[in-house]
Amino acid sequence: MCLQLFDLSGKTALVTGSSRGLGRAFAEGLGKAGARIILNGTNEVGLAKTAAALGANGLDVTTAAFDITDETAVKGTFDKFDKDGVTVDILVNNAGIQFRKPMLELETADWQRVIDVNLTAAFVVGREAACRMSSRGSGKIINIGSVMSTVARATIAPYSVSKGGIKLLTQAMAAEWSSMGIQANAIGPGYMETDMNEALIADHDFNAWVKSRTPSRRWGAPEELVGTAIFLASNASNYVSGQIIYVDGGMTSVL
Ligand code: GCO
Ligand code: CA
């Protein structure tokens, strides 16, 4: 009985920014739990390569190439889902960019781009998905935050602000959409070994700092986020809404 709680068979999950990195890990994990996966990104070649790789592992994978910051493209994609009879039961708002620069040197355009991709797009895609989930009376929205949803680090202000916003957007979604049968929650990854952090991992001093600042004394592997994603995507979390779960080796729990 208890494992059925985590079974995603018959569900369709859209994961934004999923041709590589954490998005790919989320897509693969939800697929292995039985969900049909829709990969998203703007690079059709990269998407097709990842779809082929996951498909070769027996997963049910399709792709939807659209720019999450282009509202017309987002609406058009969901209209096409409607026409094709595709229901997005699970939305993982994963796509995100990083931009590291001290605020005194930061151009407003660079600030805005990070907010547009990491936060506003999660609202726009979330709204399109939730509008359809509400008519079905059920749905799961998983927003990807960060340890930066609750603490700041110098030189990544727009990223931190966007991830702080993701935490409260998740709570706002819960406030408005839980009564419609939608559960909206967030995952806050710690320092994970991904392309986005390649330069940090290679930096000896920064790498040493992460290990000393993390009680688990190591970087996280993307796959270590999958269990939390399956939980939040499944019936096991039907009475959980508005929460953020930090998967960070204990980092946000200690000084
Ligand atoms: C940085 C990193 C972090 C991590 C992650 C932590 O520059 O400090 O990019 O932001 O990527 O977001 O949760
Ligand atoms: Ca690389």
For residues 231 and 245, give the distance between their C-alpha atoms in angstroms, rounded to a whole number: 11
DSSP-derived letter for residue 119 is: I
What is this model's ipTM?
0.90
- Ligand 1 pocket, 127 CB below 6 A? no
Q: Are 129 and 177 in contact (CB under 8 A)?
A: no
Pick the ligand that lies closest to the CA of residue 201: 1
Residue 1 has pLDDT above 90, yes or no: no
Is 159 in the active site?
yes
Give the number of the atom of ligand 1 that is nearest the alpha carbon of residue 147: 13
For residues 177 and 24, give the distance between their C-alpha atoms in angstroms, rounded to a whole number: 27
Question: Residue 249: helix, strand or coil by DSSP?
Answer: coil
Report, as an integer, the average pLDDT of 114-140. Answer: 98
The pLDDT tens digits for 29-84 are: 999 999 999 999 999 999 999 999 999 999 999 999 999 999 999 999 999 999 99
Residue 146 has pLDDT above 90, yes or no: yes
The pLDDT tens digits for 76-119 are: 999 999 999 999 999 999 999 999 999 999 999 999 999 999 99
How far does the centroid of ligand 2 lie from the alpha carbon of residue 133, in Å?
36
**Three-class SS of 53-117:** HHHHCCCCEEEEECCCCCHHHHHHHHHHHHHHCCCCCEEEECCCCCCCCCHHHCCHHHHHHHHHH
Q: What value, to the nearest 5°, has the Cα angle with vertex 213 and ends 94 and 115?
A: 30
Ligand 1 pocket: which of 167, 192, 196, 216 to mutate (most atoms <8 Å of CB)? 196
Q: Are 125 and 169 in contact (CB under 8 A)?
A: no
Residue type, 46: G
Catalytic entry in 159, 191, 239, 246? 159
Residue nearest to atom 3 of ligand 1 (CA): 191
The pLDDT tens digits for 180-209 are: 999 999 999 999 999 989 999 999 999 999
pLDDT, position 2: 79
For residues 135 and 130, give the distance between their C-alpha atoms in angstroms, rounded to a whole number: 9
Average pLDDT, the chain: 98
Ligand 1 pocket: which of 118, 119, 143, 146 to mutate (most atoms <8 Å of CB)? 146
How far does the centroid of ligand 2 lie from the alpha carbon of residue 195, in Å?
5
Q: 176: number of CA atoms within 13 Å, CB side?
A: 12
Nearest to 140 by CA among 225, 238, 222: 238
